[in-house]
Amino acid sequence: MFGSLFSLPEVACIAGKRQATQVYLPSDDSQRSVSGRGTLAAVLAVVLLLGFSSMLRAQTDCLGCHADKTMQDAAGNSVGVDADTFHASIHGSLSCTDCHTSIKQYPHPDHIVAVKCETCHTEQAKGITGSVHASASAHPCTSCHGDAHTIFPKSDARSAVYPLNIPRTCGNCHSDPALAKKYGLQNVFSVYMDSIHGYAVSKEGLLVAANCMSCHGSHNILSHKDPKSPTYKANIPNTCGTCHGGVMAEYTTGVHGKAVAGGNLNAPVCSDCHTAHAILQPTLADFRMQSTPICGSCHKGRFATYQDTFHSQLGLLGGYVETARCWDCHGAHNILPESDPNSPVNPANLIKTCGRCHADANASFVKYQPHANPRNRKLNPALYFTRFFMNLLLWSVLGFFSLHTLLWFIRAKREQGKRGPAEGENHD
């Protein structure tokens, strides 16, 4: 290649000719000045030419063997290099020995020292050292970025860490049953791809859609139990808020956001309601049907009373997705206490809130109690005694007729015994 265009004597000759041209300048002072500058330029030219020539010669010499894509080392690993792809890659401007520093001559040993990416990528290497991937692979860099000879910038669609390619890159490990068993991982790749984020990436091709790196980071990926991790529970609102800014602003002003900000990690964050990977579009029937039990996982008492109501029974028996769920009345993110004037369940706002579904809602209509507890005599005395009377009446009627049926059966048996065998029966 270009490395063979100039030999060392030829480079020296070119430099010498450039110096010689300075002798015929008219002024001695200017001659010495220009001659000095010419000498410096010549030296720099020699250095650059030597470096460029050396780099290209090294690539040419190495590719003389390694251009064979079927080439393997003693362990059976591929050591073939596609020359065109390598030259187009982010490392294409480097000499082979810039990375393979242990190779000093040809032929080189069969077993060479592993390449140390941290020589150039110091900060990234520091991040990996303290991450969950530190011991996950013998060479974590190439596990994600691919073969070192085919690495492209992350803005290049050919890159393994291009935003649209990241889910599949991470999925190479996080969908592997053997690795999942070894490290106790969940197969989150498939559920992510079916989620609203995965759909936006794989089907819509949206570069701004959340991928693995958007939430977990790139190199310094930490366990969700680590307080420094972006997926630590207290940090999740800010992590999701990098994309969902409007929702985050609503959440932080609500009772849940204030509780988390105050250090109460029992309060729900984004992933408690939407999950982490299998995130559904909130308008879908599947999400609406599962939303109430999600709220009920924390608000067990309220959930139990809701299940006794018309709203819940209609939803469970008929599967109607239009039936009012928790967030239809209380709001989704900016949830406020009933005493707050801005709360949709504040007494002053109930007509408007109920009127979203019931156009004829009035002051009498909103007296309906969506969480009435018939077991609490103090809070709901009328409902408590009504339930008590109805249950007493029900069990009395059932008990009376059960006893009546039993006595009737006993009487029938006795009368049958008194009459003897029925006519027409055969006797031995």
How confident is the model at residue 375, as a pLDDT?
A: 79
From the CB of residue 192, how many other CB atoms can be counted at a distance below 10 Å?
Answer: 25
How confident is the model at residue 17, as a pLDDT?
A: 36
pTM of the model: 0.72
How confident is the model at residue 325, as a pLDDT?
A: 87
Tens of each residue's pLDDT in the chain, 428 residues? 333 333 333 333 333 333 333 333 444 444 444 455 556 655 554 444 444 444 545 567 788 888 888 898 888 888 899 999 999 999 999 988 899 988 888 888 888 888 899 999 999 999 999 899 988 777 889 989 999 999 999 999 999 999 999 999 999 989 888 888 888 888 899 999 999 999 999 999 999 999 999 999 999 999 999 999 999 999 999 999 999 999 999 999 999 999 999 999 999 999 999 999 999 998 888 888 888 889 999 999 888 888 888 888 887 776 677 788 899 999 999 999 999 999 999 999 999 999 998 999 999 998 888 887 787 778 778 888 888 999 999 999 999 999 999 999 999 988 888 777 655 555 55
How confident is the model at residue 108, as a pLDDT?
A: 85
Is the peptide bond between 237 and the residue preceding it cis, with omega within 30 degrees of 0?
no
How confident is the model at residue 373, as a pLDDT?
A: 79
Token pair of 318 as six digits: 């008929």
How confident is the model at residue 2, as a pLDDT?
A: 36
Q: Residue 201 and residue 194: Cα distance in Å, rounded?
A: 10
Burial class of residue 423 in the structure, from the number of CB atoms within 10 Å of its CB (0-12 exposed, 13-18 middle, 19+ buried): exposed
How confident is the model at residue 318, as a pLDDT?
A: 64
How confident is the model at residue 316, as a pLDDT?
A: 76
How confident is the model at residue 21, as a pLDDT?
A: 37
How confident is the model at residue 381, as a pLDDT?
A: 83
